[in-house]
Chain A
Amino acid sequence: MPGKVLIVDDEANIVISLEFLMEQAGYAVAVARTGEEAIEKIDSFHPDLVLLDVMLPGVNGFDILQRIRQHFTPHEMAVVMLTAKGREVEVTKGLALGANAYITKPFSTRDLLAEVRRYLEPGEEHETLPN
């Protein structure tokens, strides 16, 4: 069962790739470019998984994560942090706040997709990306 993915990132250039990848994988995709927009889309779009950047204009990624976890369990709404903040302490913080995974940029698209599938299609035999 394909799911719904919300991409939250203010960097347009990475959003292009993410959007394309998720659509190709068969997911319904929505994009938010600010924290406020993300909060709004979470309510309206009700995604199964959020790809969440930490550094956003306005409300930051950690704040959004906290809001999500007030209403949804990691099982109900998966959050994959996708960020340039790679310090160990920040990874720890993200996971402690309830992120399902913490991926630092630059990342392998293959790994990312595998991670997304792990949460959206558990138990299924995941096909790999075409080469």
Chain B
Amino acid sequence: MKRSQISTLLALIALSALALGLAAGWLAAWLAASTHNPVLFWAGALGILVTLVLALRLMHRFTRAFLRDVRRLSEAGRLMLNANPAYRIPPEGHPDIQELTGVFNQLGDHFVALQQAHTDAIQQARADLEEERTLLATLMAELTEGVVVCNLDGQILLYNRSAHRLLDASTQAEHGAFVGLGRSIFAMLDHNTIAHAVEQVQTRRLRHSDDAAAAVTNFITTAANGRLLRARLAAFSAPDRELRGYILTIQDISEGIARSQRRDALLQTLTEKLRAAVGAIRAAIETVQSYPEMPPAQRQRFQQVIHDEATRLSTQIDDTLRVYASDLRAQWQLEEIAAADLTWAVQHDLRQRCAVTATGQTTDHTLWLKIDSYTLTQGIAHLVSSLQMEFGVAEVTLEISAVERYAALDILWPARGVEPARWRQWSERAFITDDSDGVITLREVAERHGGEVWFQMHPSGAQAYFRLLLPRADGEGRTSAGNGAPQSLSGRAAIPSRPEYYDFDLFHVPGQSAELDDRPLSTLAYTVFDTETTGLTPGLDEIVSIGALRIVNNRLLRQEVFEQLINPQRPIPAAATAIHGITDAMVRNQPGIESVLPRFRAFVEDTVLVGHNLAFDMSMLREKEQSTGVCFVNPILDTLLLSALLQPEEEQHSLEAIAQRLGVQAMGRHTALGDAIVTGEIFLRMIPLLQARGIHTLRQARNAAQQTYFARLKY
């Protein structure tokens, strides 16, 4: 007999038993009424009651098995299909439902296997493309010029590190622009200037269709951060020759302009001073010549004038040359060099030039310097030849070591046999040069590098040395990630090795200025954020940290983060520190909320705010509206409400629980940025789930979220 037939038989038996029970009860009650036997009556009533209870239990099991459990199954199935294929449904409830769960899970396994095969194939196909992209990103990162690629709406599709450094104003001003993918270039460069350049290029392309040079134009502009930039705009077009966007190559010329202004000023003052002095001298000489008969006392006065003015003239020339020395020399560029290479170069130079043996000791092989090696070797050679000439020193030792933020270059020599006082006298003279002879002293070397230099004697008197502090190169120049970008607190946020500085898919994304509410969720730009606080009472408690990052074109941009500790101007309770790890000491030297919020508003501009349990964070921000004057009018989406909307049968909607269900690894939790990253990942996985429920636009998502139970909770 088949299982379904058994079920039907069992159901028939159950129904018959129910009918029999009711009938027996009714019969007993009827007999009791006619025979006036109370025992029989109570037995009948009890029978009916027991039968009804049994019937209710049966009903409950049926409802649970075939209504609630089926709904749970379909939710879980949707989850597996759209968001987390690795999710497996725990077997619960009626054996039939459990069996169905097993089938679902098997299907899930099969689906995952198929998907894996699919992913492998795609990955294989993408490997080459990825390699090219990495190459492009590396090339871009290494360029000293800033490169920005924009679509015709001015949205940034690519930028390199130098462009970030040249254009970013977020650390300068409270409302300064952030450089980022999908953000508008017009917040950093003048709209009219760019529009004019694009127009120029377009006109030229029409007139000289085959000339590649026609698609390029140069201009000079001031960025919003005050830098003076020389820019080159090159247009690029689709195969159908339609203009699609432009590449901007930018260079900072502020420094060059400032230098030439200083040179102008120098020429100006020099000319005027010279004219005045020479004027007095000439007038005096000519007067003396014109009146040869003048009394000797009078003649003496004129001779004195000539002498005084000539002396003044030479002092003026010396002073001017000293003040403007660095401007008069050719512009020198600092280059990066490994300490070991520098030691070798100096040794080689000394041997060639002064026939002095230089032994070198550079123990730190990770140490790099940022120097003008020509000036440096000249300075050292001048010093060593002076040592050789005056004291007959034939051997020096070079040592380079790291001293705090600097590299210390020591030039040591045996000092025995000469009075320490004489060494000191000589060392003072070693810094003095005549500007006209072109000799470079160590002091000049130090000045040019923003460093320092001093002379020291070993206490024993056996050795003397000069120590030169020079800049190290292991700052922004050589590290690959986060140059100029807001710094991570301690690198907790998982930042990928290759920066995500470009997204050419943005060519197809319309600007953010369009009406947001009716735009599909997948095309919007979002800022996912979280705050850490001193407690849970808005109005009483304060924000101690804000972490945020953006989602543009369905990607979480881990490179463009906002992470800021805030001084709450009150002690942080131990209970709060236990949660987020932020102590009073950590926030002591941090800015207050009033200077952080304007920057944060600039960061979130034109995006939808996303967070988990946003009602709390928003009320914390709203508390500060009055005192800071900063309002957040962005539309918001709360992942807590969206989770309740997507999985109403689930009881747990904490960030951890949702992350687990959606297969998101919750790393770096309980830091504002860590939580924001997890929330962002969760939100990205929710978008297809929402679409599967027919929720496509921001308006639909907001309306649906407002219907959930959690939306009615107030802070």
B282 on the A face (CB < 8 A): yes
Q: Mark contacts of B266-308 with chain A using CB atoms, 8 A cut-off: 1 yes-contact digit, 0 otherwise.
A: 0010011111101111111011011110000010011001001
Minimum CB distance partner of A108 in chain B = B286
**Minimal beta-carbon separation of B315 from chain A (angstroms):** 14
Residues of B within 8 A of A40 (CB): none
Known: A16-B301, A20-B298, A105-B275. A11 touches B280 (CB 8 A): yes
Cβ B284 vs Cβ A106 within 8 A: no
Residues in A with CB closer than 8 Å to B142 are: none
Q: Are A14 and B298 in touch, CB under 8 angstroms? A: no
Question: Bound state CA distance, A55 and B305, in angstroms?
Answer: 20
Query: In this complex, what residue of B is CB-closest to A54?
Result: B272
* Chain B residues in 8 Å Cβ range of A14: 276, 279-280, 283
Tell yes or no: A29 within 8 A of B by CB: no
How far is it, in angstroms, between the C-alpha of A129 and the C-alpha of B290 when the chains are bound? 6
B280 touches A104 (CB 8 A): no
Whether the pair B273, A107 counts as a contact (CB closer than 8 A) is no
Establish whether residues B280 and A13, one from each chain, have CB atoms under 8 Å apart when the complex forms: yes
CB pair A130–B272 under 8 Å, yes or no, is: no
Residues of B within 8 A of A64 (CB): none
Q: Mark A1-37, 1 if CB is under 8 A from B, else 0.
A: 0000000000101101110110010000000000000
Q: What sequence of 0s and 1s flags, for each residue 105-120 of chain A, a beta carbon within 8 Å of any chain B beta carbon?
A: 1111110000000000
**Smallest CB gap from A109: residue in B:** B286
A-B CB pair tally, cutoff 8 Å: 73
Least Cβ–Cβ distance between B286 and chain A, in angstroms:
4
- Is B271 within 8 A of A17, CB to CB? no
Measured between beta carbons, the chain B residues less than 8 angstroms from A104 are 275
Is B309 part of the binding interface, using a Cβ–Cβ cutoff of 8 Å? yes
Please measure, in the bound complex, the distance between the C-alpha atom of A109 and the C-alpha atom of B302, giving whole angstroms.
14
Please, what's the 1-or-0 string for B61-78, where 1 marks a CB less than 8 Å from any CB in chain A?
Answer: 000000000000000000
Given A24-B291, A109-B290, A130-B291, A17–B275 Cβ distance below 8 Å?
Answer: no
Whether A44 sits at the interface, judged by CB under 8 Å, is no
CA of A105 to CA of B283, assembled, Å: 9
Whether A86 and B275, one on each chain, are in contact in the complex, defined by CB atoms closer than 8 angstroms, is yes
Residue of B nearest to A24 (CB): B291
Residues of chain A within 8 A (CB-CB) of B292 are: 130
Q: Once the chains bind, are B275 and A84 in contact (CB under 8 Å)?
A: yes
- Tell me whether A17 and B276 are in contact in the complex, defined as CB-CB below 8 angstroms, given that A24-B291, A129-B290 are known contacts: no
Q: Which residues of B contact A86 (CB under 8 A)?
A: 271-272, 275
Check B279 against A105 for contact (C-beta < 8 Å): yes
Q: Which residue on A lies nearest to B275, using beta carbons?
A: A84
Q: Which residues of A contact B298 (CB under 8 A)?
A: 20
B267 to chain A, nearest CB (A): 10
Q: Assuming A20-B298, A24-B291, is B272 touching A84 (CB within 8 A)? A: yes
Separation of A130 and B291 alpha carbons in the complex (Å): 7
Pick from B287, B305, B308: contact of A21, CB under 8 Å: B287
Q: Which residues of B contact A105 (CB under 8 A)?
A: 275-276, 278-280
Does B282 contact A107, Cβ atoms closer than 8 Å? yes
CB distance from B106 to the nearest CB of A (A): 91
Q: Is A13 touching B308 in the complex (CB atoms < 8 A)?
A: yes
A126 within 8 A of partner (CB): no
A106 pairs with B283, CB closer than 8 A: yes
Of B273, B283, B286, B287, most A-chain CB atoms within 10 Å: B283
How far, in angstroms, from A119 to B35 measured CA to CA in the complex?
A: 158
Of B286, B291, B308, which contacts A110 at CB under 8 A?
Answer: B286
The answer to whether B273 and A109 have CB atoms under 8 Å apart is no
- The answer to whether A109 and B287 touch across the interface, beta carbons within 8 angstroms, is yes
Least CB separation from B305: chain A residue: A13
Q: Does A75 contact B (CB under 8 A)?
A: no
B309 in contact with A106 (CB, 8 Å): no
Is residue A85 contacting chain B, with contact meaning CB distance below 8 A?
A: yes
Q: Which residues of B contact A87 (CB under 8 A)?
A: 268
Residue numbers in A under 8 Å from B309 (CB-CB): 13
B298 to chain A, nearest CB (A): 7
- Contact present for B272 and A17 (CB under 8 Å): no
CB distance from A13 to the nearest CB of B (A): 4
Q: Which of A18, A55, A84, A85 contacts B283 (CB 8 A)?
A: A18
A131 contacts the other chain (Cβ, under 8 Å)? yes
Q: What is the distance, in angstroms, from B184's C-beta to the closest C-beta of chain A?
A: 42
CA distance A91 to B272 in the complex (A): 14
What is the 8 Å Cβ interface bit string for chain B, positions 444-488, against chain A (1 contact, 0 not)? 000000000000000000000000000000000000000000000
Asked if residues A130 and B290 are in contact (CB atoms below 8 Å), the reply is yes
A21, A106, A108: which contacts B278 (Cβ < 8 A)? Answer: A106
Scoring A87, A105, A108 by chain B CB atoms within 10 A of each residue's CB, the highest score goes to: A105
Is B302's CB under 8 angstroms from A11's CB? no
**Pick from A16, A20, A84, A131: contact of B276, CB under 8 Å:** A84
Given contacts A24-B291, A86-B271, contact A16 B305 (CB under 8 A): yes
- Write out the residue numbers on chain A whose beta carbons fall within 8 Å of the beta carbon of B279: 14, 84, 105-107
CA distance A85 to B308 in the complex (A): 21
14 additional A-B pairs beyond A17-B283, A105-B279, beta carbons within 8 Å, are A13-B308, A13-B309, A16-B305, A17-B280, A20-B287, A20-B291, A21-B283, A21-B290, A84-B271, A86-B271, A109-B290, A110-B290, A130-B290, A130-B292
**16 residue pairs from A and B, CB less than 8 Å apart:** A13-B305, A16-B301, A16-B305, A17-B280, A17-B286, A20-B291, A21-B283, A21-B287, A55-B272, A105-B279, A106-B282, A107-B283, A108-B282, A109-B287, A109-B290, A130-B290
Give A contacts to B, CB under 8 Å.
11, 13-14, 16-18, 20-21, 24, 55, 84-87, 104-110, 129-131
B-side residues, CB < 8 A to A, are: 268, 271-276, 278-284, 286-287, 289-292, 298, 301-302, 305, 308-309
Give 7 nearest A-B pairs by CB, closest first.
A105-B279, A84-B275, A17-B283, A106-B279, A13-B280, A109-B286, A106-B278
